[in-house]
Amino acid sequence: MTTIARTRRRGWGDTVAGVAILAVMLFPLYWMLNVSLQPSGGAVRTPWIPLDLSFDGYATALREQGRNLVTSLVVSLGCVVLSLAIATPAAYALARFRVRGAGVVLFGILLSQMIPGIVVANALYNVYSDLGLLNSIPGLILADASHGIPFAIIIMRAFMLAIPVEVVEAARVDGAGPIRAFVAIVLPMSRNALVTAGLFTFLFSWSDFLFALTLTTTEQVRPVTLGIYQYIGTYVNDWSSVMATAVLASVPAVVLLLVAQRFVAAGVAGGALK
């Protein structure tokens, strides 16, 4: 009986500790939402519980940052499409074909993830200036894809290594060519990995600040991360609009994580088996 009581107390203690840690981690998000629902003013005078709710901050955020939100959405979706279109066949080739120098290619892909973003941004600025890609959505898509493609290759290759070779060979015996077997067999079986790679690529692009700051100089093409940065200054006196913009910028990421969490867990677990 004593052992059972100790186990229960230990369980309650672990639960309380977990709730406390979660509350500390989520408090910045709560405060961001709380400030966004307050009338215009400084964040210092914000009460702990929002009683006098106001949506003026969201109206201002949509009016002043709506275009930037659309720009971020277009760039992020374009980056996902481009990254998956290139990374998926590349991952399959590295996983299934005996490509000479595949180890060197994989090492190069891993090495590319260690290069500081500022180095890539500075190199791209000179190239983009010559090609006329500065202040353009295609330019931002290509820049963000430079980070998304290597990550997607690593994720999907690990998953595709776990696909039984016999399944693909059976399709080939039934008359399917390499491309048809890849499209009809490999891609459906790699759905979890595709969703995982696409989700993280979207999040990388959506939260990008460095490329946006380096490769854009006009208001016509300005992602929301740079828009929030322009909001914040020495004399900010309307934090409700700033926090409302931050909340709106967090919504796509939160929705995607909630919708795709089942696929992400399966995709990561499937890749970890190899």
Q: Pick the residue with more confidence: 248 or 12? A: 248
Q: How many domains does the chain have?
A: 1
Task: Write out pLDDT tens, residues 100-147.
Answer: 777 787 788 878 778 888 888 888 898 898 888 899 999 999 999 988
* CA–CA distance, 175 with 119 (Å, rounded to integer): 48
The CATH number of the domain where 96 resides is what? 1.10.3720.10
Per-residue pLDDT, 192: 85
- Which residue type, as a one-letter code, is found at position 218? T
Residue 1, domain member (yes or no): no
User: Which residues, including other chains, have CB under 8 Å from residue 222's CB and lie 6 or more apart?
Assistant: 67, 68, 71, 212, 216, 230
Residue 12 sits at the vertex; the CA angle it makes with 11 and 16, to the nearest 5 degrees, is 120
**What is the C-alpha to C-alpha distance for residues 37 and 45, in angstroms, rounded to an integer?**
13
Encode pLDDT of 166-221 as tens digits.
887 787 777 777 788 788 888 888 888 898 889 889 999 999 999 999 998 888 88
In a domain, 78, yes or no: yes
- CA 140 to chain centroid: 15
pLDDT digits (tens, 9 = 90+) for 57-72: 888 888 888 899 999 9
Reported as half-sphere exposure (CB side, CA atoms, 13 A), residue 271 has a value of 24
Measured CA to CA in angstroms, residue 118 lies from 83, 123, 186 at distances of: 20, 9, 36
Question: Does residue 249 surpass a pLDDT of 50?
Answer: yes
Assigned domain for 44 exists = no
Q: Which amino acid is at 56?
A: D
pLDDT, position 273: 43
Within a domain: 49: no
Q: What is the pLDDT of residues 3-54, one digit of tens each?
A: 555 555 666 777 888 888 888 888 888 888 888 888 765 555 677 777 777 7
Q: What is the pLDDT of residue 43?
A: 57
Domain assignment of residue 136, given as a range: 58-272
Q: What is the pTM of this model?
A: 0.82
Residue 165 inside a domain? The answer is yes
Average pLDDT over residues 155-170: 82
- Whether 143 is in a domain gets the answer yes
Residue 247 covered by a domain: yes
Number of Cβ atoms within 10 Å of the Cβ of 2: 6
Residue 2 lies in a domain: no
Average pLDDT over residues 225-230: 86
Tell me the per-residue pLDDT of 69-112, one tens digit each, with 9 for 90 and over: 999 999 999 999 999 999 999 888 888 877 777 778 778 887 87
